[in-house]
Every structure is written in C-alpha cells, then in structure tokens.
C-alpha cells in the first residue's frame, strides 16, 4: 500500500511504496542491499521531488544518534540524523562551534550538506565546506568513506543523495564564539549601486530582505562576531538605513517571537547565526521557496534585472533574502569556483501563481547563468542546468561506480544530474 507522506511545506506528496526507519546501521545496510529503489529523507525541508522515490523512503531518525568531538583534529563526527539545533547546543557546551549556520537550525546536517544549503557571509562557504569526511551506505550495503583530499571527495559531499545513504559526516570545528545582531531598516535600493560590497562585508554575516514593493530594502540583518566587532553600538546610519527600534521578523507584519535575539544582545553563535530560534518552528509550512545563485560580481546587475519584474514578483511573495556565499570546490555545488550572491524567495503557498513567475525570473537572470538551490522550486530545463556544472561528467562517473544500478536515483536526479 502506498504511504502518503508529505514534505514540510505540504506541496509534495511522496510516492514511496513504504517508509522505513531502521534502528541500527546493520538494519539499514540490509534494507538498502535488498531494495531496488531507495531515497533517504532528511528533515523534509525540500520543496521539489529531490527526495521522492517509487521505492523505499528511508528516515535515519531511528538510528542511534552520536556526536563525537576530536579535539586534537578539531573535528566532530556525527550520525546522519543529527540536526543543527542539537549539534549547536552540544558543541557550544564543549567550547566549540562550526563556522556558519543556515537561517533554520531545525534542518539535518547530512541533508543540508548534500544540497549545499548555506548561511551568509563573504568569507563563509556553504555548510558543505565544513565537511572533512562523509560515510555512506552504498546500494550493495557496503560502507564507504570519502575523506577531504581523497578520490571523489569533491563529488561526494554535495551529492544529492545519489551515491548512497549518508550515515555520518565529519565537520571542521573552531573555538566557540559569541555574536550580536542588529537589524537596520529602510536601506535605499540605490545604495547597492555604489556600496554593495561594503554592505555585505559589514560583518561576519549579513542578510538583506526586500518585498520588492518599494525602492527600499526593507531590512539588513548584521551579525557581528564579538571578537571582530568594530564598536559597542550599531552605526547610526548604514548607507541610509537606520537601526530598528525593536525586534523584527523578516516578513513584514509577522511577530519576531520566533526570531533569534536582536538589538545587539550578545549570545552564542548557534543562537545568533540562524534567523530563527531552535526551540520554535518559524512557520507551519505555509510557504514555497526558490533560490537562484549568480556570481557576486553580477549581484547589482542581477538586482536591477529583478527590479524590472518586481510588479510580477511582489504579489506572490512573502519576502526575498539576499545573501553572499564564498566559492568552493564541490562539483555539484551552486558555488563551485564562484563567489556568489543568492536571491532567495519565500513565496505564498500558491504553486499555480508562483511557477510562471519562476520562469520569468529565470529568463531575466539568464545572462548571469543562475544556478538554483537543488532542494527548492525552479523551472530551468535539465539541459540548461546540467550545462552549468562543468564537473558533472566526473560526478556521473562517480555515481556509476558506487551505484551502478541507480538504486538511489529518482526522476529528479536522473533528469537534472545523471541524464538518461
């Protein structure tokens, strides 16, 4: 009997024959080796069919959770079902941190790295750049480990689940640090023309939010590491933006109760780098999401291209976030060898109204060769998308070597990555 399970947003109903939650590594290995089609479900926070399968959908939540810190090597090894909220508390309690976090701490570490999910900061890479080793269960039920610097590693970290079930990842860690964040309001959009680099480089992590309804950037979120902070108070004026008079939510009119603490109150990295608190769910999934990455050098030109269609974007939008991400070396990463600016769209939950706007956005950004987030909505053709990943042939060979029968492939992965 087909089980009806949906993703977090509820816009995707998975087509799996059954859902399994193995309770041990050996049980997982036997399950995978005995199945013709398998996909692993992380926190379910994707918005397209990247996690779908006609076979067995596997959740790793039932595996014993483990987090092991190696202080001598400055790494932490954790099992596949661990989420950033859990990892953050544990690491900080031992005096350590990871360099960056995404806006939501509720997402799984393994799934986030596999799709190159990211935070913000001109010197901060995606979450996948912290990975120094990844261990997978292959279609044959074997355990295979890829280590940084080794054969296939740059293809195995951001692998979209196409190589196998990720049962552990090893992350670089650094000494714990404190962060304070301020929100500025009313940044004139014209300030980006001459000061974009200065604005996004203002602090360790900077995010801009716009609803595309006016000539203003609604908010600028500035997250400063205390050991790098320039002074004890926020700037009275950030290129025309002024400090918010109280806590703010990125979406206009929504309560800030679920947001991490603002107003310059210092706190540990894991309670400030995300936008939302780990002990709250920021929404009930009443949204859709898309994200397009272009070269940071094209950030301002891309912004103006999007402004030309703001009258089409705004009616179906909740908020748009603009972030920066440093280049990396992962073959399927949207940031491969390209310092990047990301335009992230949180849409109203109306697929019929949103999908035509995605096509319009992709058309306006075409000259900047945008790469979409693998786990979010887009309408780019598989041929167009595959052409934007120069190391794709090497990844395809890696997948054939470790999953020759395409056990872990699904329609999404086959169409957009592996080819027919």
Q: Is the predicted pLDDT of residue 285 greater than 70, yes or no? A: no
CA dist., res. 18 & res. 5, Å (int): 10
Q: Beta 75-79 vs 165-172: how paired, if at all?
A: antiparallel
| Whether residue 233 sits in one domain with residue 158 | no
pLDDT category at 286 given cuts 50, 70, 90 is confident
| Whether residue 189 sits in one domain with residue 106 | no
CA dist., res. 354 & res. 11, Å (int): 12
Backbone angles phi, psi at 16, to 5 degrees: -60, 145
Query: 86 to each of 59, 104, 106, 262, 278, how far by Cα in Å?
Result: 17, 12, 9, 22, 9
CA dist., res. 49 & res. 14, Å (int): 8
The per-residue pLDDT for 17 is 85
Tens of pLDDT, residue by residue over 357-369, are 999 999 999 999 9
Q: Is the predicted pLDDT of residue 44 greater than 80, yes or no? A: no
The per-residue pLDDT for 1 is 45
Kindly state whether residue 384 falls inside one of the protein's structural domains. Answer: no
SS3 state at 343: strand
The per-residue pLDDT for 295 is 98
| Whether residue 142 sits in one domain with residue 207 | no
| Whether residue 214 sits in one domain with residue 168 | no
| Whether residue 197 sits in one domain with residue 269 | yes
**pTM for the predicted model, two decimal places:** 0.95
| Whether residue 189 sits in one domain with residue 221 | yes
pLDDT category at 3 given cuts 50, 70, 90 is low
pLDDT category at 202 given cuts 50, 70, 90 is very high
Kindly state whether residue 146 falls inside one of the protein's structural domains. Answer: yes
Domain that includes residue 206, residue range: 178-282
CATH of the domain at 101: 3.30.465.10
Last residue of a domain, one of 142, 175, 208: 175
Lowest average pLDDT, out of 243-252, 348-357, 411-420, goes to 411-420
| Whether residue 185 sits in one domain with residue 102 | no
| Whether residue 203 sits in one domain with residue 171 | no
Tens of pLDDT, residue by residue over 135-172, are 999 999 999 999 999 999 999 999 999 999 999 999 99
CATH of the domain at 248: 3.30.70.2530
What average pLDDT does the structure give for the chain?
A: 94
Kindly state whether residue 128 falls inside one of the protein's structural domains. Answer: yes
Q: Are 244 and 262 in contact (CB under 8 A)?
A: yes
Kindly state whether residue 300 falls inside one of the protein's structural domains. Answer: no
Number of domains in the chain: 2
Q: Is 245 exposed, middle or buried (0-12, 13-18, 19+ CB in 10 A)?
A: exposed
Last residue of a domain, one of 128, 143, 175: 175
| Tokens of residue 115, six digits | 């799709």
The per-residue pLDDT for 382 is 95
Average pLDDT over residues 4-16: 78
Which among 104-108, 166-170, 255-259 has the top mean pLDDT?
166-170
Tens of pLDDT, residue by residue over 46-85, are 888 888 888 999 999 899 999 999 999 999 999 988 999 9
Average pLDDT over residues 195-223: 97
The per-residue pLDDT for 201 is 96
Last residue of a domain, one of 236, 259, 282: 282
Q: Is the predicted pLDDT of residue 311 greater than 50, yes or no? A: yes
Kindly state whether residue 11 falls inside one of the protein's structural domains. Answer: no
Q: Is the predicted pLDDT of residue 6 greater than 60, yes or no? A: yes
Q: Is 197 exposed, middle or buried (0-12, 13-18, 19+ CB in 10 A)?
A: middle
| Whether residue 183 sits in one domain with residue 168 | no
| Whether residue 224 sits in one domain with residue 143 | no
| Tokens of residue 250, six digits | 């990125």
Kindly state whether residue 314 falls inside one of the protein's structural domains. Answer: no
Residue whose C-alpha is closest to residue 160's, from 128, 133, 129: 128
The per-residue pLDDT for 417 is 93
| Whether residue 185 sits in one domain with residue 165 | no
Q: Is the predicted pLDDT of residue 410 greater than 50, yes or no? A: yes
The per-residue pLDDT for 127 is 98
The per-residue pLDDT for 10 is 79
Indicate the helix (H) or strand (E) that contains 242: strand 242-243
Find the DSSP H helices in 67-226.
Answer: 84-93, 109-114, 153-156, 191-200
Kindly state whether residue 326 falls inside one of the protein's structural domains. Answer: no
| Whether residue 196 sits in one domain with residue 155 | no
The per-residue pLDDT for 183 is 97
Tens of pLDDT, residue by residue over 375-400, are 999 999 999 999 999 999 999 999 99
Kindly state whether residue 89 falls inside one of the protein's structural domains. Answer: yes
Backbone angles phi, psi at 111, to 5 degrees: -65, -35
CA dist., res. 133 & res. 167, Å (int): 11
pLDDT category at 106 given cuts 50, 70, 90 is confident
The per-residue pLDDT for 282 is 59
To the nearest whole percent, how much of the chain has pLDDT over 70? 97
Residue whose C-alpha is closest to residue 66's, from 131, 110, 122: 110
């Amino acid at each position: 009997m087909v089980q009806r399970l949906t993703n977090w947003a509820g816009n995707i109903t998975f087509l799996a024959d059954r859902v399994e939650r193995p309770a041990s590594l050996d049980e997982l290995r036997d399950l995978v080796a005995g199945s013709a089609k398998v996909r692993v479900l992380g926190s379910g926070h994707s918005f397209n069919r990247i996690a779908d399968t006609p076979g067995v959908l596997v959740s790793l939540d039932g595996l014993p959770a483990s987090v092991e810190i190696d202080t001598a090597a400055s790494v932490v090894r954790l099992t596949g079902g661990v989420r950033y909220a859990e990892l953050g508390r544990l690491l900080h309690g031992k005096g350590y941190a990871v360099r960056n976090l995404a806006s939501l701490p509720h997402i799984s570490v393994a799934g986030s790295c596999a799709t190159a999910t990211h935070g913000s900061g001109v010197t901060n890479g995606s979450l996948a750049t912290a990975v120094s080793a990844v261990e997978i269960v292959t279609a044959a039920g074997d355990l295979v480990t890829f280590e940084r610097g080794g054969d296939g590693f740059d293809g195995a970290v951001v692998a979209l689940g196409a190589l196998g079930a990720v049962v552990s990842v090893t992350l670089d860690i650094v000494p714990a640090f404190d962060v304070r964040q301020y929100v500025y309001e009313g940044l004139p959009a014209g300030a980006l023309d001459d000061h974009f680099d200065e604005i996004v480089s203002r602090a360790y992590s900077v995010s801009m939010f716009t609803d595309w309804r006016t000539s203003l950037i609604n908010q600028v979120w500035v997250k400063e590491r205390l050991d790098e902070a320039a002074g004890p108070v926020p700037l009275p004026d950030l290129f025309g933006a002024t400090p918010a008079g109280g806590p703010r939510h990125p979406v206009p009119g929504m309560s800030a109760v679920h947001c991490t603490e603002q107003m310059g109150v210092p706190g540990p990295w894991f309670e400030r780098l995300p936008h939302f608190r780990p002990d709250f769910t920021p929404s009930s999934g009443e949204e859709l999401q898309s994200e397009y990455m272009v070269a940071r050098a094209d950030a301002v030109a891309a912004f103006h291209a999007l402004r030309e269609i703001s009258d089409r974007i705004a009616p179906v939008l909740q908020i748009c976030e603009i972030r920066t991400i440093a280049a990396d070396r992962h073959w399927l990463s949207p940031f491969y060898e390209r310092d990047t600016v990301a335009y992230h769209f949180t849409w109203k939950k109306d697929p019929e109204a949103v999908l035509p706007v995605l096509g319009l956005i992709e058309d306006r950004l075409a000259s900047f060769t945008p790469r979409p987030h693998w786990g979010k909505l887009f309408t780019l053709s598989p041929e167009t998308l595959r052409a934007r990943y120069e190391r794709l042939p090497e990844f395809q060979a890696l997948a054939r070597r470790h999953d020759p029968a395409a056990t872990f492939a699904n329609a999404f992965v086959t169409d957009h990555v592996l080819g027919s």
